[in-house]
Structure 1
């Protein structure tokens, strides 16, 4: 499956989430390519600290994305491809969206983050109309406080009002997500079966279910 992590705003946990999901897939034994298109090269630096078997991280110039992606996808070397997009709107965003089985849109429970998430959703809808290809997406709330706040209540209410599809899993503000960039170890290793590790596996299960459901629906339509 091809999963793209997109946000036009920095600091929402986009790269963190992408790394966690890619690592979780690789630790299960799948061959995973993580394409780091973010200008900060955060994931490229992270992967060098504690390389994970089956996980290949490639930092690519966004202008070379199309050619690199076509070669990687057609090579047969990978079971899954995770794409960490730049934290800005550019042509690479639309190229990646058009190739995705699912787009994950991380956002904090704040008005600025939700507004930027809606911008990405609008871009997805534009790509849908241009390519006539349905592209499933879900908003992922990140850096959530353990105790429910009025800001979180506002976020959930606003998303429900707008009809934005949302992951049931939310990523709580935990030290494991920050520490992984210091020691290179993803939460599925440092907090196996609990805390951040359990959250990542719960999110991965949702991602799989959405992609499988979408694929089944496409086959039904084609038949």
Structure 2
């Protein structure tokens, strides 16, 4: 089982949006996916409880951070992939989940504030010695998106497909769906492309 942790110390970066849509895309690709929500706000779990299908899966209760390793070990026999959502901060306990990940995804909005804030997340991931990828999220069709990609590329890999600013991402947060399950083909295609890119890294 591979483990993806989604982290960004900046609030509103799109962590939960990425977690739920990536988990649906991976499930539709035939992966047995487990989602874990380590964010006290519980947004990923609230979304999952609104779903009408039982994939991806969640446990009856999310583990405490100190119990994460045991939870992952127990899940290996049943799941191919675990996607972990995290809070918009870096509490000390997050170091252990970071070290347990095979890959960290860092969503970043193309704004000066987000680019300034991403340094702390990069430092934490580098300390944990875990591979990571940036994913530009909530992107407008503007020069600032291209500039943000260039800035981020100086620090690590950037997913080649941006997650655009689309109504479908907000709407599916309320309906318990992923955009891959809606009629928004552009949103579905970009999430599928992000998943293909991430899967390629995990399969290494």
Q: TM-score, normalised by structure 2?
A: 0.90
After TM superposition, give the deviation of residue 126 of structure 1 in Å: 1.1
Q: Does 1:158 align with 2:151?
A: yes
After TM superposition, give the deviation of residue 168 of structure 1 in Å: 0.5
Return the structure number with greater helix share: 1
Which of residues 174, 191, 197 is equivalent to 1:200?
191
After TM superposition, give the deviation of residue 154 of structure 1 in Å: 3.0
Structure 2 residue aligned with 1:173: 165
Matches within 5 A, 1:1-223: 1-58=2-59, 60=62, 64-75=64-75, 76-128=77-129, 135-145=130-140, 147-149=141-143, 151-160=144-153, 162-191=154-183, 194-213=185-204
Q: Deviation per CA, 1:124-163, whole angstroms, max 9, x where unpaired? A: 11122xxxxxx21011100001x223x2243133224x34
After TM superposition, give the deviation of residue 67 of structure 1 in Å: 1.5
Partner SS, residue 106 of structure 1 = strand
After TM superposition, give the deviation of residue 103 of structure 1 in Å: 0.5
> Residues 137 and 72 (structure 1 numbering): CA distance in 2 closer, same or farther, change over 3 Å?
closer
Partner SS, residue 4 of structure 2 = strand
CA contact (8 A) 2:33 2:80 kept: yes
CA contact (8 A) 1:13 1:142 kept: yes
Cα-Cα RMSD: 1.8
Aligned length: 201
After TM superposition, give the deviation of residue 118 of structure 1 in Å: 1.9
> Residues 26 and 92 (structure 1 numbering): CA distance in 2 closer, same or farther, change over 3 Å?
farther
Partner SS, residue 83 of structure 2 = strand
